[in-house]
Amino acid sequence: MNYPNGRKKARNESNKPKRNNTLFGNRGMTLENDINETNSFYLETNRAVVHKKPTPVQIVKVDYPQRSAAVIREAYFKQASTTDYNGVYKGKYIDFEAKETKNSNALPFANIHEHQVEHMRHVLEHGGICFLIIRLATEGETYFLPAEPFIEFWDLQFQGGRKSIPTTKIKEHGYLIPFTLQARVDYLAIIDQFYF
């Protein structure tokens, strides 16, 4: 029997263990999915209005192989995006970045861009609540890290300091976010405790 790509099936191919694509298909999306589910729950229960910001993209070239299907062939980022999420909670503007790391020792600053940090500074200057949600994948823990200590660690790299924030510092300056069934990443519990 031939496969759609024209390659013949090898005799021992059916005996090979199949790779579970669900393990590899959505790497890095677990935290984002959990936050999106949490935000949906917050919206449904009228606790807060928080949404993921769309990335601004300029589409340049589109092919239409079929009438019902369009394929984007070329696109560019219109501008640098800011943080991942923003919204309103109890009359206060909230803005945050979500990061997941498999590094058991630190969150590398290479995962965060200068313009995102500048955006965080502006949010803080205008009285908004700004923070990072960091998932330490190796430990299965998720932390709420206020932007203030994060920015301090960020600035140290330009004075000869580390180019990452150690997980020990994330735990020391951050707050473990409780995992609940309906609000998987219940960051409002932390905001209620420390801001209201």
Whether residue 72 lies inside any domain: the answer is yes
Whether residue 20 lies inside any domain: the answer is no
Whether residue 16 lies inside any domain: the answer is no
Whether residue 2 lies inside any domain: the answer is no
The length of the chain, given as a count of residues: 196
- CATH number of the domain bearing residue 51: 3.40.1350.10
Q: How many CB atoms lie within 10 A of CB 129?
A: 19
Whether residue 93 lies inside any domain: the answer is yes
| Averages of pLDDT over each 10 residues, the chain, 196 residues | 49 43 45 95 97 75 77 67 91 96 93 93 97 95 97 95 95 94 93 92
**For 44-60, what is each residue's pLDDT tens digit?**
999 999 999 876 666 77
- Show the domain range for 66: 27-195
Whether residue 98 lies inside any domain: the answer is yes
Q: What is the pLDDT of residue 10?
A: 52
Whether residue 172 lies inside any domain: the answer is yes
Percent of the chain past pLDDT 70, that is, above it, reads: 79
Q: What is the pLDDT of residue 58?
A: 67
Structural domain count, the chain: 1
